[in-house]
Every structure is written in structure tokens, then in C-alpha cells.
């Protein structure tokens, strides 16, 4: 990818890994009201992250925490349903390829349980390339869609679009 990885390590203290990637600039306009509130300076969001890969979860969590959000990471759909029983979330980021109940089934299940006036904003995240994943994710009830690898600006933009009140959409 044309990047660079470096390591600094001190015995008994720990290690710091740095990954620098020359990512292309993001095209398109980012909504300056909702996206800025999501990305920085706005209220902290409580987000549910469904991701079975611990490395990917750590990266996404780091990107979102850098924007000031609180993240609850769960590795599968059943744990996510349990988390939702004890915590209200502003949005969920959902990997499509979860063990057991995949992201498509999970989204349908959540949508079937929602009462009138309830709507959990959901953004699908996948490493799948091509195909009809986005269409299927939206049909399952997802409000947004991202492909891995991703960066903070993409997450902020997708969350802003997903949580935008319907009258602003």
C-alpha cells in the first residue's frame, strides 16, 4: 500500500507500533452540521461495535475514540443483543460476516424488535468486495455501508448520515 510500519520498544515498559499509509483524499462534501458533531467537538456518541476480528475492532475503536465517542465492542450478534438490553446506543457499526448470526440477520432481528418510534441507526462494515452486499445490507435494515479498510473521516461521514434526523436526509 506504499506505507511504512515502525516499532519503538523499551524492555519492561512496552511497545509502540506506528502505521503510516498514504491514503487518498476523500472526495465529496461532508455535511458540516451533523458530520462535525459526529467527528469532533460535538456530543460524544455511545456506539455499539459488532466485529469478530479483534485487530479490526481495535482499529475502529481507536478511530472512533479519537473522535470522542464511547465504544462497546462485542464479537457476535448474541452478545450485541445482550448489550442492548442494558444500554441504549446512538448507533451500531456491524460487520456483515459475524459468527453465528451474521450482520444481515442481526439487522433484521433488531428491526423486527423495534417499537413504533424506535430506530437504531446501523452502519454495515465489510471486507467483501464487489457484489450486492450494499443492497442486501440496506434491505436488511442498515442505514449506511462501508468497505474495509476504512478511516476516521469515512466513519464520521457514515455515522452522520445514519443518525441524521429524517427531515434532514
Q: What is the CATH number of the domain that holds 123?
A: 3.40.50.2300
Domain that holds residue 91: 30-168
Residue 8 is assigned to a structural domain of this protein? no
pLDDT tens digits, 57-73: 999 999 999 999 999 99
- Please state, in angstroms and rounded to a whole number, the distance separating the CA atoms of residues 124 and 91: 11
Tally the domains of the chain. 1
Backbone angles phi, psi at 75, to 5 degrees: -90, -5
pLDDT tens digits, 118-167: 999 999 999 988 789 999 999 999 999 999 989 999 999 999 999 875 54
pTM of the predicted model as reported, rounded to 2 decimal places = 0.74
Residue 2 is assigned to a structural domain of this protein? no
Residue 42 is assigned to a structural domain of this protein? yes
- Please state, in angstroms and rounded to a whole number, the distance separating the CA atoms of residues 151 and 64: 10
Residue 11 is assigned to a structural domain of this protein? no
| CB-CB contact of 109 with 81 (8 Å) | yes
Amino acid at each position: 500500500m506504499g506505507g511504512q510500519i515502525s516499532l519503538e520498544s523499551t524492555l519492561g515498559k512496552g511497545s509502540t507500533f506506528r502505521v503510516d499509509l498514504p491514503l487518498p483524499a476523500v472526495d465529496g462534501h461532508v455535511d458540516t452540521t451533523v458530520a462535525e458533531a459526529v467527528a469532533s467537538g460535538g456530543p460524544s456518541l455511545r456506539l455499539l461495535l459488532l466485529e469478530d476480528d479483534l485487530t479490526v475492532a481495535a482499529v475502529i475503536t481507536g478511530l472512533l475514540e479519537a473522535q470522542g465517542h464511547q465504544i462497546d465492542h462485542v464479537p457476535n450478534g448474541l452478545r450485541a443483543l445482550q448489550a442492548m438490553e442494558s444500554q441504549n446506543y446512538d448507533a451500531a457499526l456491524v460487520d456483515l460476516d459475524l459468527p453465528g448470526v451474521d450482520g444481515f440477520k442481526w439487522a433484521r432481528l433488531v428491526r423486527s424488535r423495534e417499537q413504533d418510534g424506535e430506530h437504531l441507526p446501523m452502519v454495515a462494515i465489510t471486507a467483501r468486495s464487489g457484489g450486492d452486499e450494499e443492497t442486501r445490507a440496506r434491505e436488511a435494515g442498515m442505514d449506511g455501508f462501508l468497505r474495509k479498510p476504512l478511516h476516521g473521516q469515512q466513519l464520521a461521514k457514515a455515522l452522520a448520515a445514519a443518525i441524521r434526523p429524517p427531515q434532514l436526509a
